[in-house]
Amino acid sequence: MNMQEKEICITSVKNTVSEIAGIGQNPDNAPANERVLEKAREKLPGGKADKVIIYNPDAVAWWIYEKYKSDFARAREMSDITMRLRSVMPSVTPVCFGSMYSGVMPEVHGIMKYTKPVLKVETLFDVYPRSGKKAAIVSTAGDSISKIFLERDIDYFIYPTVGRVNRKALSLIKDGQYDLVVIYNGNYDSRMHAVGPEGRLALKALRKNLDFYCKMIEAIRTNLKDYSVFYGFCPDHGCHLIDGGRGSHGLDMEEDMNVVHLYGIKPKG
């Protein structure tokens, strides 16, 4: 993994999705991820996809990927790109997802600490409906993605458990009504805080995240054959071990700032 890839920031996600969706990039936002655009151009006419499905598992660090690479094998095989991206500071969930979906740094979008106000800047969830496209968020109640992107002209499916979130997400993919579906799972993050990034229950949650990502891709391939689809596995920040065998994040350190992203492109048919 070269240094240039390391320095690609999670702020690139907004314009990457917008460009592949045919909406176009906002020049005031971080530029799109050129490696991903190149792959899209290679696999799709004009590099454009009909639909976008993004999965946001919380706190999956690059170092976890490197250490437990065998657990990622199937997810990697079902994707076109596996790469390291840089998070933002402070590396906590609302700050990071605010940057990922607004395309700007925290000092611009305004969330500078662990708070969950509704963002007032332009986000991906503004440009989609403005372009006549239908978008949905599927998340657990109270989590950042369920709160900071409210008040948009999109559909929200908010549930008390990860299991219900994931079942609804697969149902939305099967129905094929949405141009954009964003899915959030916080189970690895919550287990990691309790038992450490490599605790048995944390790794079990991580494997569930990877299993769902693969099920998501299977659902895309089975139910969206008439559409081209861009999809991704896009964590917000990493994590590190602290005293007492617990986990944490939020610091400007490699373990917290480097995350693993996977991207895939399915042509029509």
Identify residue 173 by its one-letter amino acid code: I
What is the model's pTM? 0.96
Q: Is the dihedral of CA 76, 91, 30, 20 positive or negative?
A: positive
**Can you tell me which residue has the tokens 């946001």?**
56
pLDDT value at 247 more than 70: yes
- How many other CB atoms are found less than 10 A from the CB of residue 207? 14
Identify residue 6 by its one-letter amino acid code: K
Q: What distances in angstroms separate CA 59 from CA 149, 196, 265, one per listed residue? A: 19, 12, 24
Q: What is the pLDDT of residue 105?
A: 98
Q: What is the pLDDT of residue 4?
A: 41
pLDDT value at 77 more than 70: yes
pLDDT value at 204 more than 80: yes
pLDDT value at 80 more than 90: yes
Percent above pLDDT 90 for the chain? 97
Percent above pLDDT 70 for the chain? 98
**H-helix or E-strand spanning residue 223:** helix 200-223
Q: What is the pLDDT of residue 7?
A: 82
pLDDT value at 141 more than 60: yes
Q: What average pLDDT is seen over the chain?
A: 96
| Gap between the Cα atoms of 58 and 66, Å rounded | 17
Task: Give residue-wise pLDDT tens across range 45-74.
Answer: 999 999 999 999 999 999 999 999 999 999
What are the sequence ranges of the domains in the chain?
3-266
Identify residue 127 by its one-letter amino acid code: V
3-266 falls under which CATH superfamily?
Alkaline Phosphatase, subunit A (3.40.720.10)
Both tokens of 230, joined, read: 């861009």
Stretch 140-154: mean pLDDT, rounded? 98
Task: Give residue-wise pLDDT tens across range 222-239.
Answer: 999 999 999 999 999 999
Pairing of strands 81-86, 258-266: antiparallel
Stretch 156-170: mean pLDDT, rounded? 98
